[in-house]
Amino acid sequence: MPDQKNNSWGEGELRELLCLMMIGSCIWILGTQLGFFTVLIDATRTHQLQDLLMLTLCMSLGVVVAAIRKSFKLRKAMQDRDGAEAHAEAVARHDAMTGLANRRLFRETLEARIRVATGLPRVAVMLIDLDRFKPVNDVHGHAAGDAVLCVIADRLRALAPPQSLVARLGGDEFALLLDDGSDPEVLARLAQGVIAALSQPIAWTQSRLEIGATIGIATATEESRTAEALLHAADVAMYQGKRDGRGTYRFFHLDMGQALKARARLEGELRIGIEKGEIEPFYQPVVSLPGRDLIGFEVLARWNHPRLGILTPADFIGLAEETGLIADLTWSLMRRACRDARLWPAHLQLAINISPLQLRDPHLPEHILGILTETGFAPERLEIEITETALVNDLEAARTALKSLQSFGVRIALDDFGTGYSSLYHLRELQFDKLKIDRSYVESMRLSSERAKLVDAIIALGSSLGLLTTAEGIESGTSVDWLAGQGCTYGQGYLFGRPMNKATTDGLLTQWSDDEGRIVIAPSLSETSELAERELVALAPPPALRQAAA
């Protein structure tokens, strides 16, 4: 909006003009009354006063020119200001890096399109969240992250149908506003196209950066037809997509909203549950191979929920992470587990899982040490299990925290090895004590010789780096023999015991211990016959890979 003060008469200026006009009138009245003007009129006939008149005329001309100049200047200033304002407007509504619309413009456009619609608006909102973007920033730096965002913006621009609006809502979140969202099939095809395009690798210096996208789609319904409601619905659908395994798209439907309410309820209950000590440590045995001597337990959280019964981590660890409750949960669990384990034979160790998010806490080592001191549990008996995700997210933070813990004697295990995507990189960068081979490998090696070769290669890799290895998810006797044959140090799985509460663990410890203090988990009766036929061929000949590696 042009500035009103500069191009119209202000109140002061009007007052001044009126004053001047009144003074002029007074002079005129006085002049005529005193006969002054007759003298003047006579005088103009003289040569001098003709000059005076000319001078006055020239001066007036100067004033007129000055006024015109001023008006041009004013006009130019107004044009400049209009330009600057238009630029500021554009900046305020666009993302500086990608040039796409920002959240504000997206929202305003969405509101405008809903407003002009007669009946139910046909618009659709697609919320696009990048997968694996943060690791790109962390591992390759912010310049790489920025380059990726610009490439993504270009790809979205290229795919966006006419009349649609592409926006970057913030961070790695983009959105498409579609004018006509009436055909779900068209929307689904577009979402698939977007996912496929955004999953194409992006070249960056010597690397190929691989990211992906998860999409939530919402169309207007009688219940949700405001911009706010549509954005929220698309967000809920997108999170559902993330939970279902990323790289996918989901349409919002009402059940999701209800699930969200149930989740909010569970969150409140979790907060109280942690305070009340409803989260209990369960203990799963870990044995040495091939002798099956018990070497310790992994602590696995169980929620003794007053309304829903015993819940497993899949039901609440993610929730605890999202709501910032994970630290309280972990410390309460660790405190209880250390107290329980202090009473067990001193050679038994305790492994506890730390959420990837907790590695960002610079006080993590202090917290752990505080609990060890408080409970009187020796640091050498404690092992911290972390997953590769944690490392990819912030390698520097992880390195500092892990080094500090190791300096106190706490050991570090890399959990779920093989499920991340930069395992070798981490093995080279960080000093682990142990590798835990993910259950998915151990499970499938019974069925595929290729998988068996992979497990063998992981064990060989671990031993070449001087690391201990634990195979997770062992369910059958044959796997034990084969794994022990390949040099795997430890085993864990239902074959040796499921996660058990303290009372059961205490009972079994007494039952398993022999007179010399050895605790050996004997093969169960069912074990010999169990799965015998299902066990495959794949495990029989030790893969030639080990020789090749040697």
Regarding 313 and contact with ligand C2E (CB under 6 A), the answer is yes
Measured CA to CA, the distance from residue 245 to residue 255 in angstroms comes to 19
> Radius of gyration (Cα) for the chain, nearest Å?
38
SS3 268: helix
Rounded to 5 degrees, φ, ψ at 338 are: -65, -40
Residue 493 binds which one of Ca ion, ligand C2E, none, with CB within 5 to 8 A depending on kind? ligand C2E
Residue in the block written with tokens 């959105």 = 175
Q: State CA 131 to chain mean position distance.
A: 8
Pick 129 or 388: Cβ nearer Ca ion: 388
Q: Which of 385, 388, 456, 535 binds Ca ion (CB under 5 A)?
A: 385
Segment interacting with ligand C2E (CB under 6 A) among 208-216, 225-233, 467-475, 542-550: 467-475
Q: Which of 301, 311, 412, 467 binds ligand C2E (CB under 6 A)?
A: 301
Report which of 317, 382, 391 is spatially closest to residue 360, judged by C-alpha positions: 391
Regarding 280 and contact with ligand C2E (CB under 6 A), the answer is no
Amino acid residing at 192: Q
Q: Which of 95, 138, 475, 535 binds ligand C2E (CB under 6 A)?
A: 475
Which CA distances in Å does 283 have to 337, 356, 546?
9, 21, 34
SS3 395: helix
Residue 198 binds which one of Ca ion, ligand C2E, none, with CB within 5 to 8 A depending on kind? none
Pick 247 or 499: Cβ nearer ligand C2E: 499
Which CA distances in Å does 260 have to 128, 256, 264?
20, 6, 6
Q: Are 409 and 375 in contact (CB under 8 A)?
A: no
Regarding 471 and contact with ligand C2E (CB under 6 A), the answer is no
Regarding 355 and contact with Ca ion (CB under 5 A), the answer is no
Report, in Å, the least distance between residue 248 CB and ligand C2E: 22
Report, in Å, the least distance between residue 330 CB and Ca ion: 13
Burial class (CB in 10 A: 0-12, 13-18, 19+), 26: exposed
Segment interacting with ligand C2E (CB under 6 A) among 46-54, 255-263, 349-357, 523-531: 349-357
Residues 415-444 that bind ligand C2E (CB under 6 A): 415-416, 439
Burial class (CB in 10 A: 0-12, 13-18, 19+), 447: middle
Tokens matching residue 409:
């004697």
Q: Which of 164, 248, 353, 479 binds Ca ion (CB under 5 A)?
A: 353
Q: Which of 241, 285, 462, 499 binds ligand C2E (CB under 6 A)?
A: 499
Pick 152 or 386: Cβ nearer ligand C2E: 386
Report, in Å, the least distance between residue 357 CB and ligand C2E: 9
Measured CA to CA, the distance from residue 175 to residue 227 in angstroms comes to 13
H or E element that contains 118: none
Report which of 381, 333, 331, 337 is spatially closest to residue 358, judged by C-alpha positions: 331
Report which of 492, 548, 49, 510 is spatially closest to residue 295, judged by C-alpha positions: 492
Q: Which of 138, 416, 456, 535 binds Ca ion (CB under 5 A)?
A: 416
Regarding 280 and contact with Ca ion (CB under 5 A), the answer is no
Regarding 218 and contact with ligand C2E (CB under 6 A), the answer is no
Q: Which of 353, 406, 469, 489 binds ligand C2E (CB under 6 A)?
A: 353
Residues making contact with Ca ion (CB under 5 A) = 353, 385, 415-416, 472
Residues in the site for ligand C2E, rule: CB under 6 A?
A: 284, 300-301, 312-314, 317, 330, 333, 353-355, 385, 415-416, 439, 472-475, 492-494, 499
